[in-house]
Amino acid sequence: MELDKRWIALAVVILLVAFAGGIKYSNYKSDRQVEKDALFQSLEEMDEAEGQEAESKVIQVYVTGAVKNPGVYRLQEDDRVHQAVEMAGALDEADLKHLEMARPLVDGETIWVPAAGEVPELPASVNASGAYGSTASQGSALVNINTASAQEMADKLDGIGPTLGQRIVDYRTSNGPFKDIEEIKNVSGIGDKRFEAIKNKISVR
């Protein structure tokens, strides 16, 4: 009889230990699941953030003239002229009233910031097709190769198609504005013969 009681007591102890172990295992599984759920949520948030970043298009514009740091700047496609000018740092003598500061930027354009007394013929603008140009070059017999859009050069210059016009825009974006009209011969596809055909129709100011 005494032996039976001992076996019963031992069985009870074993059951209690097993029960306690089961509870701990259940809690462990629950904690692990919470950690896994948190990890998956974090990964999903990272993927979403990367997707949003990829959707925003980066553009490049060249800012020159009366600024502290002329050069090519990377911005978002919905950014405005004033943001590009602020990045370049307008000098004290800069005359900003002739710039359309609230205008959306266009990829590949050149923004010239005039100094006081150095007023452009007409303020810069975006043409009807949405490409960057200048009203000065549009209203003049000469095409300003430092501000005209690729399409504008293709429309107004003999022997310059949209592809070659884009090469001119790419060149000035990478190297800065043309210092003289002959520098356009550095653009791939423009040799002496093609330059002779357009030299009397282009300007750099």
Distances (CA, A) of 173 to 10, 82, 146, 170: 87, 19, 9, 5
Residue 187 pLDDT > 60: yes
Which range, 67-81, 97-111, 126-140, has the best average confidence (pLDDT)?
Answer: 67-81
pTM score > 0.75 for this model? no
- In the predicted model, is pLDDT for residue 171 greater than 90? yes
| 50-119 shares its CATH topology with 123-205 | no
- Predicted local confidence at residue 2, as pLDDT: 53
pLDDT of 54 higher than 70:
no
- Residues above pLDDT 70, as percent of the chain: 61
Q: Is the pLDDT of residue 160 over 50?
A: yes
Exposure of 89 by Cβ count < 10 A (0-12 exposed, 13-18 middle, 19+ buried)?
middle
Under 8 Å between Cβ of 157 and 143: yes
- Return the domain boundaries, the chain: 50-119, 123-205
Res. 75 pLDDT band, cuts 50 70 90: very high
CATH class of 50-119: alpha beta
CATH superfamily for 123-205 is: Photosystem II 12 kDa extrinsic protein (1.10.150.320)
Average pLDDT on 163-191 reads 91
Q: What is the pLDDT of residue 88?
A: 93
DSSP bridge pairs for 59: 75
pLDDT at position 85 is 94
Could you give phi then psi for residue 78, rounded to 5 degrees? -95, 5
For range 90-98, the mean pLDDT:
87
Residue 78: per-residue pLDDT: 86
Q: Pick from 3-7, 70-74, 131-135 the range whose average pLDDT is largest.
A: 70-74
Q: Is the pLDDT of residue 141 over 90?
A: no
C-alpha–C-alpha distance, residues 45 and 61, integer Å: 32
